Structure 1
Amino acid sequence: MTTHPQVVRARTLHEVIRPEEAREAVGRRLAEDPDDHQAWSLPGQCHPPLGQHSEAFAAALESPRLEPGFVDAHFVLHERTEPADEAIRQILRADPTHTLAVTVSTETEREAAKAGTSAGRAAELYAGGLAATPHSDALQGDLDRAVYRLLRGTRWLALLCLVMAAVTVDVFPAGGGAKELPVHPGTRRWALALMAVMWGLGAWRRYRRLRTGAQPAVFALVRRSFRSRVVLGLATWATLCALLLVALPRSERTVPQVLFWLALVPNLLSITHDRDKVR
């Protein structure tokens, strides 16, 4: 298909860094023929230098919609939105090997690797990149590792609950000041309430605050990764032992001490030998 002279002129203006004039030139061409997909690829390049990112995304979405085989639509990825992701997906459906796939992966990795980026934020970034480039093995691996970092945090919550339970029921009395057993029911109920708050704020609330695209990745990783299931199993085991220590009144300390060590040792061994990998 022959490129219209107005489109050629707009491209030339863009190449010599005259985005305002390039935008006007391509605007005149689109006023003549709104279905010129080659013309629609240019606003995606002209708008970003002018700070008009939303317009760039809308234009980039229009070009592959009119001609799925045409993959000359380019736009910045600094303000990722659903229209932008949809544009990327349409381009990559027409050409899965398009360099845009590499661009999405690179930009996502750069953002997620910034100092101070939490595991949850990294998981959201990788999930967003993977939504746009669903066949990217690199992004899938990065998403798995970010989610695994989230899952590892559950062990520390469980160990905190275990220590709280041990202190509440005085599993290891210090000196001669041993508490009388069983511990008062009100004290044990307070400990149970605090455990519920810790899990609610530390795990459930954190999970619910993840963007929709990142939430399914948690369950998907648990299904696929043995290491992730081990981490969750150990956290669950430690929390269960903590609940047994607090919920069941006991008049002696032998069984609580055994439960404490059975929960603590495997979790500490797992943390010591853990690596930020998913196999």
Structure 2
Amino acid sequence: MSTLHPTVEQAQALIELERYDQAGALLGRRIAEDPGDLRAWVKIGYCHLNTERVAQAVEAADEALKLDPEDYGALRLRAQSMVRDNGWLTVQPVLRELIRVAPQDPFAYAMLADAVWRASLVEYAKASGARQLSHRDIDRVSGEAAELAMEALRLGPEDVYAHEIAHRIASTAGNGTVADQLDEAILRIDPQHAEALARQTRKAAEAPGVGATRAAELYADALAVEPNSPSMRQQLDHATYRLLRGTRWLAVICVVMAGAMVDLFPSDDEPAPELPIPVGQRLWVLVVMAAVWAFGAWRRYRRLRAGIQLNVRSLIRRGRWARVVLAQAAFAMLCALLIAEIPWTDRSVPQLIFWAGLAPTAATIWFDKRKSG
């Protein structure tokens, strides 16, 4: 391996610090001094690529390949520049040459698997005229890509990119078991891998029998590992909203209890209690309502970890539907208190209050199941 020029070494240090513009300026001066410095061309190409100047990165790769058509760094830069410019369908020749030059490189096999998989899907969709491919269709055309991905995993058992490509192929083909195993392997290699962590957390949170509280705890744990994941933050909001939705059920229960105490809809078989209801009975119903809220909401809220409590308050401030939920619960409770605590002498008015508190709340409980904010 040739020794790097000191200017190129200095530029490489700047690249590692992600100071690409400064590194590019140094490399530009080096190339002006010696246009035959292949390593300078490759590294300036990566400076261009990392600053979204894809056309200049392609040009740098081409200049490097003129100096050495079999240089690994130049071929890899050319392939990465092409795919950054949506060239997945034309990059295969470059990747196959890269594999010929470096047959033990897992990155080359993984990237070729990705390119072959994408091209196979496009060709099959064009040939069949299908707008959407089924799992069976994808599995049928993913054979070569899957083999290349397995070879990448064999060569690089600790290579995250190889696992990512293999997971993408398996998951789109409907191979859920293989996809889960690959996710577990990715998280073993990189415990902070945002996409794998989000997938596994969501799977655990959506498992049968997992309630809103447990789901919120799972997403909070995942966010502690990867706090910048927008998908997990959204799912935490959704789980938190499910917790808030439960308050309306408590309010509905209280409305029904108040209606039952007054016996708003008496039957012919049993005589209705005389109105007004005694004060002691009205106060007792108030105690029962307080117990319903204490055990159904306050006790649960107090047991939530601090991060989820903060998210509850944050979601109420941010989310329109969260505020709607609490407003409906408050309105239903107001109706329950009016029914239970006013000494009514006639049932017609409390009947109207009963339906006003019960019907809109019960109807919207089913409407907004998928709302998250």
CA distance in 1, matches of 2:214, 2:369: 20
Deviation at 1:76, TM superposition (A): 4.9
Deviation at 1:267, TM superposition (A): 0.7
Q: Which runs of 5+ in 1 are unaligned?
A: 1-44, 46-73, 78-86, 89-98
Cα deviation code 1:229-255 (max 9, x no counterpart) = 111111111111101111121111122
2:259 pairs with 1:166: yes
SS of match in other structure, 1:213: helix
2:235 pairs with 1:150: no
Deviation at 1:109, TM superposition (A): 2.0
Match of 1:185 in 2: 279
Report if the CA contact (8 A) 1:154-1:235 is conserved: yes
Q: How does 1:172-211 map to 2 (within 5 A)?
A: 172-175=265-268, 177-211=271-305
Match of 2:193 in 1: 100
CA distance in 2, matches of 1:132, 1:183: 56
Larger helix share, 1 or 2 = 2
Report if the CA contact (8 A) 2:238-2:371 is conserved: yes
SS of match in other structure, 2:296: helix
SS of match in other structure, 2:241: helix
CA distance in 2, matches of 1:106, 1:261: 43
Is the deviation greater in 174-183 or in 118-127? 174-183
Is the deviation greater in 208-217 or in 171-180? 171-180
Report if the CA contact (8 A) 1:148-1:276 is conserved: no
Which 4+ stretches in 1 moved above 3 angstroms? 74-77
Which fold has the larger relative contact order, with Cα–Cα distance below 8 Å and residues 6 or more apart in sequence?
1
> Residue 266 and residue 179 in structure 1: after superposition, are their counterparts in 2 closer, same or farther (change >3 A)?
same
Cα deviation code 1:171-217 (max 9, x no counterpart) = 22222612111111111111111110011001111111112221111
- Between structure 1 and structure 2, the one with the greater Rg is 2
Q: How does 1:198-277 map to 2 (within 5 A)?
A: 198-277=292-371
Deviation at 1:113, TM superposition (A): 2.3
CA distance in 2, matches of 1:127, 1:145: 12
Report if the CA contact (8 A) 2:252-2:362 is conserved: no
Deviation at 1:226, TM superposition (A): 0.8
Report if the CA contact (8 A) 1:154-1:232 is conserved: yes
**Under a length normalisation based on structure 1, what TM-score does the superposition of the two structures give?**
0.62
Report if the CA contact (8 A) 1:124-1:213 is conserved: no
CA distance in 2, matches of 1:219, 1:162: 26
SS of match in other structure, 2:371: coil
Cα deviation code 1:89-146 (max 9, x no counterpart) = xxxxxxxxxx623343233223222221110010011112122222111001111111
Report if the CA contact (8 A) 1:155-1:267 is conserved: yes
CA distance in 2, matches of 1:185, 1:277: 41
CA distance in 2, matches of 1:251, 1:144: 46
Match of 1:139 in 2: 232
CA distance in 1, matches of 2:335, 2:220: 34
Q: Percent identity?
A: 47
Amino acid of the structure 1 residue aligned with 2:277: V
CA distance in 1, matches of 2:200, 2:369: 25
**Under a length normalisation based on structure 2, what TM-score does the superposition of the two structures give?**
0.47
Match of 1:117 in 2: 210
Report if the CA contact (8 A) 2:187-2:196 is conserved: no
Report if the CA contact (8 A) 1:149-1:276 is conserved: no
SS of match in other structure, 1:251: coil
Amino acid of the structure 2 residue aligned with 1:171: L
CA distance in 1, matches of 2:246, 2:187: 37
Report if the CA contact (8 A) 2:198-2:222 is conserved: yes
Aligned residue pairs, count: 188
Report if the CA contact (8 A) 1:145-1:277 is conserved: yes
Report if the CA contact (8 A) 2:187-2:193 is conserved: no
CA distance in 1, matches of 2:308, 2:322: 16
Deviation at 1:275, TM superposition (A): 2.7
